A and B are shown apart, each in its own frame.
Chain A
Amino acid sequence: MSDSEIIRLNDISKHYGTGDILVKALKNAELMMKKGEVALLMGPSGAGKTTLLSVMGLLLHPTSGEIIFNDKIYNRKTRQKIMTETRRNSIGFIFQAFNLVESLNVIQNVEIMYKIGKLEKKGYKKKCKEILEMLQMGHRLKHASKDLSGGERQRVAIARALINEPMLIMADEPTGNLDSENGRIIGEYFRKIANERGTTILIATHDERLKFCADRIIHMEDGEILK
């Protein structure tokens, strides 16, 4: 694994079910991503994008093959606890439906990362505030998440994904619920984050408008990454 590589998939397969109802969602996937790279993962529905995102984000164990992430190997035998720790410390997630905790306000939705994990707590409030300000959400810190627009919610979700300074961000249709203007803003943030922080970002999307922020487009079909 070279210095610039952050994640590599070696012959990854993911199967669901057995016998007649066996579904091969991922077939012998090979992929490498570099530090600071932004890639779009595109393909028709059912192509296996979500499964690839889940396996790369260490949410699912692969059926076979291995993931080398930050020089550590993860495979079907890796303990759940290790995968959870890695997600907490090194991976950020952004979802189409934003997945903010409704009972928390804007800044609390970011602070929650300090509560669930073993992040250095010193100065956490200032850090949360700075990230939200960077994402133009400084004026909304105490607002309830349900009172925000879609674009604002997604910016809070990005702040939550960034607060643990992840090496990798997995985004699933991040602009799927946004208008074109907010979609463009989110794309610009992804580019900025990758450039300034060296964060690697993989975005599963159908949104062609996000191409402007990507270094590369990965196409998938029938569980395979197209060459």
Chain B
Amino acid sequence: MVNLAFKDLFHKKGKFALIILGLSFSIFFVQYSAGMFNGVLTTSTDILDKFKFDVWIREEDSDNFLDGGFVNETVYDDVKMMKNVNHAERLILIGAEAEDEERTTFCYFIGCDINNPDHEIGPWDVTKGNEGLLFENNTVMVDESIKDYFDLKINDLLKIGNVWMKIVGFCKNAKFMFNGYIFASIETVRSLTPWARDWITTVAINLDEDYTIEEFEDDVGDDISHHLEVLSTKELKENTHDMIINEGGLGGSIYIMVGMGFFVALIILSVTMYQSIQEKIPVFGTLKAIGASKGYINKMLLGQVFIYITLSFILGTILAMLLSFLAGAIPIIVELQTSIILYIAFLLMGLVCSSVTIIKVHRIDPAIVFK
């Protein structure tokens, strides 16, 4: 049977396409912003998600991955000897400049405990080479974003923090926020600081099954934990995200961008619906005169808003996903869960827009048909 909501929308195809385009763009803007927010947060703590450790030791006041802080290697030596510590691993995570003759970019170094036969932290999603090649000093594996930026090939040299290092492999999806990771052995990373030999930034620890983090904290004692922070994975993750959102200013920027996207969509939809009603006052008057119920009119208007939002949401999301593949340097993760929440939020916004127009239509006097 004829569906007036559909017919009416598609009757003026050019206008319909323009409205969909405008809405899609604002939804794309929101999805892209939300995707960037997700991407930055996710990549900032990728190590925590990929390698399952119970506890992390960092320098005092460096309780997140954005703050660099040095921990003496003796802490690692002491911790690994502790009873109930199942496994301990050294890690260096610091920022460094990578450059060739023409270009410079900022990267993050991960110094992995390659010499530890039980080590877990190492390059992930390797596309070329293998981490065994990192045993050799001044060799590195880099994320493909760095490879593409410098147009690197295996065995090329790249100057990192003033030391020329040989590329022995590539990996993908290895980024800390906007910057690619460079994987190397702890010794290679230390070659950047010849004045300080025995430093690391983090000790990653797995505890025995029945041994709690609180018990570990108590047992670590003042000798080891002096000027150090003992953090659970959850705490380190929360601190890092909190730092990015609040102190890094990402939260405010994203909220403004998402808000703007919603505002633009709200304006487009409100103006569209209002204009549509203004143009169709005689049609609605006729429908009311010939007996259309309030329910029918509500369903028709809500149906139109639903079609506008659903089609635009699909287009906007596809556009955001396409651009996330093309964006390269920017980590954009369009998540299903976030998308569902945004879709519901857009539908609610549509409900607000349509409720205003529904009220306006209900106020149309059916007797206008005789005027």
Instruction: Give residues in A with beta carbon < 8 Å to B.
Output: 50, 53-54, 57, 59-60, 81, 84-85, 87-89, 91-93, 95, 97, 99, 101-104, 108, 111-117, 121, 124, 160-161, 164, 172, 204
B2 touches A99 (CB 8 A): no
Report which B residues bind A (CB closer than 8 A).
Answer: 1-4, 7-8, 10-11, 282-283, 285-294, 296, 365-367, 369-371
Question: Which of A59, A92, A204 has a CB less than 8 Å from the CB of B366?
Answer: A59
**Complex: A4 Cα to B367 Cα, angstroms:** 28
Contact of B293 among A84, A97, A112, A164 (CB under 8 A): A84
Judge whether A160 and B290 touch: CB under 8 Å.
Answer: yes
Across the A-B interface, give the 9 residue pairs with the lowest CB-CB distance, nearest first: A88-B291, A103-B11, A116-B292, A108-B2, A99-B286, A59-B367, A54-B367, A87-B291, A103-B7
A110 to B189, CA, bound (A): 80
Secondary structure dominating the interface of B: helix
Closest residue to A111 on the B side, CB-wise?
B2
Instruction: Report B137 CB to chain A, min CB distance, Å.
Output: 75
B287: chain A residues within 8 A (beta carbon):
101, 112, 116
With both beta carbons as reference points, the residue of chain A lying nearest to B292 in the complex is identified as A116
- Shortest beta-carbon distance from A133 to chain B in Å: 19
What are 20 of the A-B contact pairs (CB < 8 Å)? A53-B370, A54-B367, A54-B370, A59-B289, A59-B367, A59-B370, A60-B365, A88-B292, A91-B291, A99-B282, A101-B4, A103-B7, A104-B7, A111-B2, A115-B3, A116-B287, A116-B291, A117-B292, A121-B1, A204-B370
- Given that A84-B293, A87-B290, A116-B290 are known contacts, is A50 also in contact with B371, CB under 8 Å in the complex? yes
Complex interface: chain B residues within 8 A of A60 (CB)? 365, 367
Interface core residue of B8, B10, B369, B371 (most chain A CB under 10 Å): B369
In the bound complex, CA of A87 to CA of B288 (Å): 9
Select B296's contact among A108, A115, A124, beta carbons within 8 Å.
A115
Residues of B within 8 A of A108 (CB): 2, 7
How far is B5's CA from A101's CA once the two chains are assembled, in angstroms? 12
A103-B370 contact given A87-B291, A93-B290, A116-B293, CB 8 Å threshold:
no
A178 smallest CB distance to B (angstroms)? 18
B290 and A113 form a contact (CB under 8 A): yes
B293, B296, B369: the one contacting A95 at CB < 8 Å is B369
Asked, given contacts A93-B369, A101-B4, A104-B7, whether A116 binds B282 with beta carbons under 8 Å apart, the answer is no
What is the distance, in angstroms, from B300's C-beta to the closest C-beta of chain A?
Answer: 9
- The one of B4, B288, B291 that contacts A104, using a Cβ cutoff of 8 Å: B4
Which residues does chain A contribute within 8 Å of B365, judged by CB atoms?
59-60
Complexed CA–CA distance, A88 and B286 (Å): 12
Q: B4 — which chain A residues lie within 8 A by C-beta?
A: 101, 103-104, 112, 115
Measured CB to CB, the nearest residue on chain B to A60 is B367
Which residues of A are found within 8 Å of B288, using beta-carbon distances? 84
Instruction: Find chain B residues with CB under 8 A from A97 CB.
Output: 282
Besides A60-B367, A92-B290, A99-B283, 9 more A-B contacts (Cβ < 8 Å) are: A81-B294, A101-B8, A101-B286, A101-B287, A103-B10, A108-B2, A115-B2, A172-B370, A204-B370
**B-chain residues with CB within 8 Å of residue A160 when the two chains form the complex:** 290
Q: Which residues of B contact A84 (CB under 8 A)?
A: 288, 291-293
**A113–B289 CA distance with the chains assembled, in angstroms:** 11
Q: How far is the CB of B295 from chain A (nearest CB, A)?
A: 10
Most buried by A among B4, B8, B290, B369: B290
Nearest Cβ distance between residue A155 and chain B, in whole angstroms?
A: 16
**Contact between B8 and A103, CB atoms less than 8 A apart:** yes
Closest-CB distance, A131 to chain B (whole angstroms) = 15
Closest chain-B Cβ to A2's Cβ sits at a distance in Å of 27
**Does B286 lie within 8 Å of A95, measured CB to CB?**
yes
Is A99 a contact partner of B369 (Cβ separation < 8 A)?
A: yes
Q: How far is the CB of B12 from the nearest CB of chain A, in Å? A: 8
Give the chain B neighbours of A93 by CB distance below 8 A. 286, 289-290, 369
A62, chain B: closest CB distance, angstroms: 12
Docked Cα-Cα span, A121 to B365, in Å, equals 28
Nearest B residue to A49 by beta-carbon distance?
B370
B2 to chain A, nearest CB (A): 4
Q: In the bound complex, do residue B283 and residue A101 qualify as a contact, i.e. CB atoms below 8 Å apart?
A: yes
Q: Name the B residues within 8 Å of A85 (CB-CB).
A: 291, 293
Q: A81 CA to B295 CA in the complex, in Å?
A: 11
Q: How near does chain B come to A179, taking the closest CB pair, in angstroms?
A: 23
* Bound complex: CA A51 to CA B367 (Å): 9
* CB-CB nearest in chain A for B3: A115
* Contact A89 B1, beta carbon cutoff 8 Å: no
Task: Indicate if the CB atoms of B290 and A50 lie closer than 8 Å.
Answer: no
A93 to B369, CA, bound (A): 9
Measured in the bound complex, the distance between the Cα atoms of B369 and A95 in whole Å is: 7
Give CA–CA (A114, B3) in the complex, Å.
Answer: 11
Contact of B1 among A50, A99, A101, A111 (CB under 8 A): A111
